[in-house]
Structure 1
Amino acid sequence: MRDHGSVRRVAELGAAIAALPALKSLDLSHNHLTELPAELADCPRLKELNLRGNRLKDKRLEKMVNGCQAKSILEYLRAGGRGKGKAESGREESRKKKREKRQKKDGGDGERDELEDVSRLLVKVLHVSESPAPLTVRVGAGVKDVRPFIVCCALRGVTLGPGNALKRFLAAQTKLHEDICEKRTAATIATHDLHCSYSNVCSSCPGQITPLGRKEIKAKDLVRQLQLEAEEQRKQKKRQNISGLHRYLQLLDGKDNYPCLVDAEGVVISFPPITNSEKTKIKKSTRDLFLEVTSDASLQICKDVMDALILKIAELNRFTLENREDDSGSDNESDALCGPVNLNPGQNVQQTSSPLVVEQVRVVDTDGNLKVLYPSKTDLATVSSLLTVMR
């Protein structure tokens, strides 16, 4: 509930919320809530939850409501939150029995709804052997000392045209960079418009690059330019905090060479952890994506981040297809947007039965030896509870 003129804001949410078994969406953003009842987790059909803008006493929970999915928030409440002991565990067991009894009384409709929701969240893996033009990333020897780990795949069939779909997509990427990528220190995501078949080459020491929203420039000159801009920001704001791309310059400190991804035409399309290229900028008309995750920490981090990225895109794609939005707006979204995104559901339309297609991409060394193939049979396991993978 929002404050419009004389409308009072909600200051308390009682345990009676559990008496609403048909509740599917709840928006109590920007109210005066300080606590959330554990009984909120007893609403079996609750899928959409917006509690941003409330000053909760549990600071961990406050962070979660500003960035996590409803399922994570409800699981946290169901577990009793932080600092709860055996008494809370007993209460949770009691609530669990009540939920089971209520679900039996409702004929299991809640469980069926959940299964139906998951069944719609589908991705199909297109194997290298099935692709008419398989994609390959060749890792140059010089990249080993600057950013040795990379995982890539193609994702076909996304819908970014209607309403704010593109903004939601970019905002989700920013959120992943802040959370699972640990502000790009653990890994960096790059998403590209797959408007042509890449025969990608990963190498170091990029030459010219056309960064998002900027003119063509040499990589080293771009770094120097960003350093000067960061210094100017500090002087103007009279503080150490800097924003935008400037926040990631420290990740290149001490590097003589820089990592990059080059397409078949020799054009730099990615300069992690700083920026992508204008050539492969995501637009509302984009239907097929080339996804890239790089890291200097480990290959498994790259895979975990890619799993999370595919799940998030699948969720956003389903939301876009299920909600009516005007096919309007511009493509001028040059970088991921910050801040919360309102995902309140609108009026549902018939969901398309076509799943997103995840096309395997091989990463090889300069001699053609396979380094990694994604997704393999064991990949996407971290999100298997929310994603149905057709292999």
Structure 2
Amino acid sequence: MDLSGNRFKDFPETLCQIHSLKILLIESNQLTEIPCQLSQLHKLKELRFKSNPLKDNRLKKLMEQDKIKPVLEYLAKQWTEQHKSSASTTAKPAQSKQQQQKAKQNVEIQDKIEILHFDQVGDLKGRQITLLPRVISVRPHILCCILRNVDLATPGNLKKFLNLQNELHDDICQKRTLATIGTHDLSLISGDLVYDARNPDDIGLVPLGKGPKLVSARDFYDQLCRDAEHERKLKKRNQLSGLHKYLTLLEDQNEFPCLSDQDRYVISLPPLTNAERSKLSPTSDSIFVEITSGHSMDICRRVMDAFLRQVLENQLGKKANEEEKTFRQVLTLQQTRVVDDKGQLKTTFPSRTDLDWNEVSQGKIFIERLTNEK
């Protein structure tokens, strides 16, 4: 949306409600403030408001320097501080009956996120991913998480889950060219994992939905390229379709990225495919999620954030029990760690700075971080 070169004195507040907004240009107006609520539009990738008489000199300077990412981070920090301030206010005006009824409804549809510590004892211990040096020059960024007690058994829920993943691939992942989402049945993955890059002739896997035959990553990639070229010719296009643009990411690469479990089974070949071995089914209740990117860790975090929001909005968490009847659903997240080949910690997700949001759709979210006790 381009609103530049007008005479806006007040920011159009309705823009803060357009959750599909990706680019907003509102330069050369007469705005004195930019609302921090814009930071909650999680699909927003570009925001420009140069040549406005802003009161906030820090924000104005960041924009004039074309620092788009720091601008969004600065607005997000303001948003967090505002909510902390409002939460600490003890004096509240008397509520009307209508307000009380609305507040009661909000409580009734509240969602809960439980976060289990990585070192949780027993069977709930988190998984560790070792990042090997060879993959750094190919596709270096990986962020993982475990979703426990997911409801895929209810008819239609597995389809919802797969559809939301496909929609995110088309949208925020830009046809897999920015990032790729892999989801796996945790019970079918053995132990900790290794993220590496290897010669595609030496990588063997059964691609998702391609039958029982083991193929090399090279043969699978070549077949995808042939399919893409056939489609291009059928549609008489000069370039590959958006569906196959991600194939160019591995063009002329001598090594392909791959994610393997403790038994050396390849479960993911990003950005091409997951393996049939760890395929989700209606009986899957614990899901291993991996987001990989060749661009930045920030993109991985944005995609993971959007993915978890969609899981909640589609109500795929377990239904709350009688003791937690104020909650609509409970989604349990298990921390994972990414370390380098020397065991040095690279990333933990979710960390204490992640999931800094309190609303999904019409519901509220309550986040509980559990200790590492049994």
TM-score normalized by structure 2?
0.65
Q: Is the contact made by 2:176 and 2:246 (CA closer than 8 Å) also made in structure 1? A: yes
Residue in 1 aligned with 2:179? 187
Q: SS at 1:213's partner residue? A: coil
Residue in 1 aligned with 2:237? 239
* Inter-CA distance 107–377: structure 2 relative to 1 (3 Å threshold): closer
Once residues 171 and 328 of structure 2 are traced to their aligned partners in structure 1, the CA distance between those partners, rounded to angstroms, is 31
Residue in 2 aligned with 1:374? 349
* Inter-CA distance 292–202: structure 2 relative to 1 (3 Å threshold): same
1:204 aligns with 2:202: no
Once residues 318 and 281 of structure 1 are traced to their aligned partners in structure 2, the CA distance between those partners, rounded to angstroms, is 18
Q: Is the contact made by 1:212 and 1:275 (CA closer than 8 Å) also made in structure 2? A: yes
Once residues 63 and 376 of structure 1 are traced to their aligned partners in structure 2, the CA distance between those partners, rounded to angstroms, is 27
Residue in 2 aligned with 1:69? none
1:361 aligns with 2:327: no
Q: SS at 2:271's partner residue? A: coil
In the TM superposition, what are the counterparts of 1:259-274 in structure 2 within 5 Å?
A: 259-274=257-272
151-160 or 181-190, which deviates more: 181-190
Residue in 2 aligned with 1:141? 133
Residue in 1 aligned with 2:283? 285
In the TM superposition, what are the counterparts of 1:54-73 in structure 2 within 5 Å?
A: none
1:130 aligns with 2:105: no
* Inter-CA distance 241–198: structure 2 relative to 1 (3 Å threshold): farther
Q: Is the contact made by 2:108 and 2:327 (CA closer than 8 Å) also made in structure 1? A: no
Once residues 374 and 314 of structure 1 are traced to their aligned partners in structure 2, the CA distance between those partners, rounded to angstroms, is 18
- 1:61 is displaced (CA, Å) by 7.3
Please tell me the residue identity of whatever aligns with 2:273.
T
Please tell me the residue identity of whatever aligns with 2:197.
S
Once residues 138 and 246 of structure 2 are traced to their aligned partners in structure 1, the CA distance between those partners, rounded to angstroms, is 15
- 1:245 is displaced (CA, Å) by 6.1
Once residues 270 and 228 of structure 1 are traced to their aligned partners in structure 2, the CA distance between those partners, rounded to angstroms, is 21
Q: SS at 1:314's partner residue? A: helix
Q: SS at 1:128's partner residue? A: coil
Q: SS at 2:247's partner residue? A: helix
Once residues 243 and 171 of structure 2 are traced to their aligned partners in structure 1, the CA distance between those partners, rounded to angstroms, is 17
Q: Is the contact made by 1:122 and 1:314 (CA closer than 8 Å) also made in structure 2? A: no
**Stretches of structure 2 lacking an aligned partner (at least 5 in a row):** 1-13, 22-37, 42-94, 370-374
1:308 aligns with 2:306: yes
1:213 aligns with 2:209: yes
In the TM superposition, what are the counterparts of 1:1-391 in structure 2 within 5 Å?
A: 104=96, 106-117=98-109, 119=110, 121-132=111-122, 133-196=125-188, 197-205=190-198, 207-214=203-210, 215-239=213-237, 246-317=244-315, 355-381=330-356, 383-386=357-360, 387-391=365-369
* Inter-CA distance 366–245: structure 2 relative to 1 (3 Å threshold): farther
Q: Is the contact made by 1:245 and 1:274 (CA closer than 8 Å) also made in structure 2? A: no
Once residues 107 and 327 of structure 2 are traced to their aligned partners in structure 1, the CA distance between those partners, rounded to angstroms, is 17
- 1:242 is displaced (CA, Å) by 5.7
241-250 or 365-374, which deviates more: 241-250
Once residues 147 and 275 of structure 1 are traced to their aligned partners in structure 2, the CA distance between those partners, rounded to angstroms, is 15
Once residues 139 and 156 of structure 1 are traced to their aligned partners in structure 2, the CA distance between those partners, rounded to angstroms, is 24
Q: Comparing both structures, which one devotes a greater share of its residues to strand? A: 2
* Inter-CA distance 130–174: structure 2 relative to 1 (3 Å threshold): same
* Inter-CA distance 170–137: structure 2 relative to 1 (3 Å threshold): same
Once residues 234 and 212 of structure 1 are traced to their aligned partners in structure 2, the CA distance between those partners, rounded to angstroms, is 23
- 1:319 is displaced (CA, Å) by 8.2
Please tell me the residue identity of whatever aligns with 1:125.
I
- 1:208 is displaced (CA, Å) by 0.4
Once residues 62 and 389 of structure 1 are traced to their aligned partners in structure 2, the CA distance between those partners, rounded to angstroms, is 23
Q: SS at 1:195's partner residue? A: helix
* Inter-CA distance 367–309: structure 2 relative to 1 (3 Å threshold): same
* Inter-CA distance 105–354: structure 2 relative to 1 (3 Å threshold): closer
Question: What is the percent sequence identity of the aligned residues?
Answer: 38
Q: Is the contact made by 1:155 and 1:289 (CA closer than 8 Å) also made in structure 2? A: yes
Residue in 2 aligned with 1:21? none
Q: SS at 2:338's partner residue? A: strand
Q: CA RMSD in A?
A: 3.1
* Inter-CA distance 163–242: structure 2 relative to 1 (3 Å threshold): farther
311-320 or 178-187, which deviates more: 311-320
Once residues 114 and 353 of structure 1 are traced to their aligned partners in structure 2, the CA distance between those partners, rounded to angstroms, is 10
Q: Is the contact made by 2:311 and 2:317 (CA closer than 8 Å) also made in structure 1? A: no
* Inter-CA distance 256–159: structure 2 relative to 1 (3 Å threshold): same
TM-score normalized by structure 1?
0.62
